[in-house]
Amino acid sequence: MKKFTRAARICAGLILAGHAVVAAHAQAVVEKPIGSEAESRLGPAPWFDPAFTVAPSRNKFIVVPTPVGPLNTFNYAEVVAAYNAFYNVATPSIGFTGSVATCDPGSMSLAFQQWTLTRINFLRAMAGVNGNTVLDTALNTQEQAAALIVSATGVITSAPQTTSTCWTQAGADGSATSSLALADDAIPLYMTDPGTGNEAVGHRRWILHSRKSRFGLGNAIGPANATALYVFDFQAEADAPNGIPWPPRGYVPLALFPAPFGTERQRWSFGFPNANFGSANVAVTRNGTSVPVSVISRTTNGYGDNTIVWAMPTGHVVTKGSNYAVTISGISGAPFASYSYNVMPIDPADPPPAAPAGPPRLVNASTRGQVLTGADVMIAGFIVGGPTPKTIVVTVAGPSLTAAGVPGALQNPAVTLVRASDGVVIGNNDNWQSAPNAAAIQAAGFAPAHPFEPAVMMTLPPGAYTAVVQGAPGMTGVGLVALYEVDTPDVPLINLSTRGQVLTGDSVMIAGFVVGGSGSQNVVVTVAGPSLTGQGVPGALANPRLTIVRASDGATIATNDNWQTQTNATHVAAIQDAGFAPAHANEPAVYLSLPPGAYTAVVQGVNNTTGVALVGVYRAP
């Protein structure tokens, strides 16, 4: 019967691992028969003492697989294509050249090494961490020796006895620093992380570790097929701005969900570098209905990034077409106290969902106008509606407008995102390439055209927010602030508004918006001018005029000067009933039912007057 070692931790001191000196906690040998298949195939994850350090190794040779990502996991086609290209791929021959009978650790085929690490990189990219790790063959040597010991003995332990069959110092070094499994393709097993003693999902956390740059791999075929994966690498900069969820956010192939053995409950997790989950809570809904979950681990340190783990209900089955909403609250030591995201199981064999059908909605909006200083900076407001969070991107175009023929463009804009409920700054950026999630912004297709232009990508709970646009000290000019919907079309952008200077000629205010979905959307567009004076805004535009233009053909589809005067008299009541009637008789508004497409709202002063105005685009009943 196969056996493995259960954890009683002892300090192993300094262990020579390849060319790196590693300090680790090893596991004492307590051999006993195991009754469940999960526990007979996977022992405890290796535990690393954070007080110790790892010296970088001198790599002899690097196996570089195809890098994966960054991935936009809310793009169905992109997820399916990556899954089929990098993960759902036929297993190549392991090509094991050694022998358990003669205690020869041998080696593996290059194809198998590349296949294994490409799958790991895909999983990492899905979770939102770097998918460009490599294999260090200097480490592979000790990993082969470690896998050989496991294969020969059928025992999983990070501290094999010197009397163990095929014991070598290299094998012992590899065992102390590696995830071990009785399997030839152990990656799915590591990600599920089943069995008593693995409640902290340490194997999963090591694979998804934000600071990982390299792995070592060993595989031995014998009385028991065995895998060793070196995981004590910390050479990359931690980069996980939105946390490390598993299952990941967005569209997730069913094969990636944890698949526990027997009656064991599924283990879901969320990690964040250096965060404290000691007082955190987890709430999960499925298609709007609460799912009773229980937190089973809040382990810090020792297994890569700090992580909270919760168990789904006994017998819970994940099915395609579901929409899980996950919220982790009460976090300390992270940029935000709570993180929310959606998980949508899919069958990659199914055709993609129909292009954004569903309810008509506002998909994105942008406003171009003068960005001055003080009270005359540009301020864009928006509201995320619905019951669940939404991922958005806010960008500002400035220097790239020059190439588009816009005179006087703002050469170095910055954007600050503020939560309206308490005035707290929740995000800011000057140059988009310096954003911690710049790769995700680029992958989502919203990277600005110039390196001096800012962008902020965030997942926001329902509520009101403000994006403040200003130039570098002393700089003014024309800027274009834009808000984009990245995910969850069922979570609406309820309204979008921008306040700024309205001048003349090319410096009038121009607001663009897009209606998405499969049907018409009722929209109210308003402009506030004289009513801003009563709110303490100096230099308000006394008499604004509004023109709505269809982008597809440049046709003017509506104009208005004073909202109480409408071509269709019923629209006055419709604007009032929707709750968007302007506060002053001289302020314009239009009520429109618009099919999907792009539209522009042009704001200017009557008789070329100038001043501060606020243009708003609102979803109406």
Higher pLDDT, 489 or 254: 254
User: pLDDT value at position 437?
Assistant: 83
- pLDDT over 70 (residue 507): yes
375 by DSSP, 3-state: which?
helix
314 by DSSP, 3-state: which?
coil
CA distance 170 to 223: 21
102 by DSSP, 3-state: which?
coil
Residues 6+ apart with CB under 8 A from 414: 396, 428, 429, 430, 454, 469, 470, 471, 472
Longest dimension (CA), the chain: 95
For residue range 162-215, list pLDDT tens digits in order.
999 999 999 999 999 999 999 988 999 999 999 888 999 999 999 999 988 899
Could you tell me the pTM of the whole model?
0.59
- pLDDT over 90 (residue 560): yes
Higher pLDDT, 359 or 318: 318
CA distance 47 to 177: 8
492 pLDDT band, cuts 50/70/90, is: low
Q: Which of 610, 592, 612 is nearest to 600 (CA)?
A: 592
167 token code pair? 């014991």
- pLDDT over 90 (residue 146): yes
Look at strands 339-346 and 250-253 and give their pairing: parallel
| Arithmetic mean of pLDDT over the chain | 82
For residue range 567-603, list pLDDT tens digits in order.
888 999 999 988 889 999 999 999 999 888 888 889 9
CA distance 239 to 435: 11
Look at strands 134-136 and 214-220 and give their pairing: parallel
Which residues on neighbouring strands pair with residue 391, listed in sequence order?
Answer: 459
Residue 248 near residue 24, CB atoms below 8 Å: no
**What is the residue type of 123?**
L
For residue range 255-280, list pLDDT tens digits in order.
999 987 778 899 999 999 999 999 99
- pLDDT over 80 (residue 60): no
61 pLDDT band, cuts 50/70/90, is: low
282 token code pair? 């987890």
CA distance 40 to 29: 15
Q: Which of 331, 301, 41 is nearest to 197 (CA)?
A: 41
- Residue % of the chain over a pLDDT of 70: 85
Domain boundaries 244-253+264-346, corresponding CATH code:
2.60.40.1220
DSSP state, residue 146: H
User: pLDDT value at position 64?
Assistant: 62
The domain locations on the chain are 3-230, 244-253+264-346, 361-619
Lowest mean pLDDT among 200-204, 393-397, 484-488: 484-488
For domain 361-619, the CATH architecture is Sandwich (2.60)
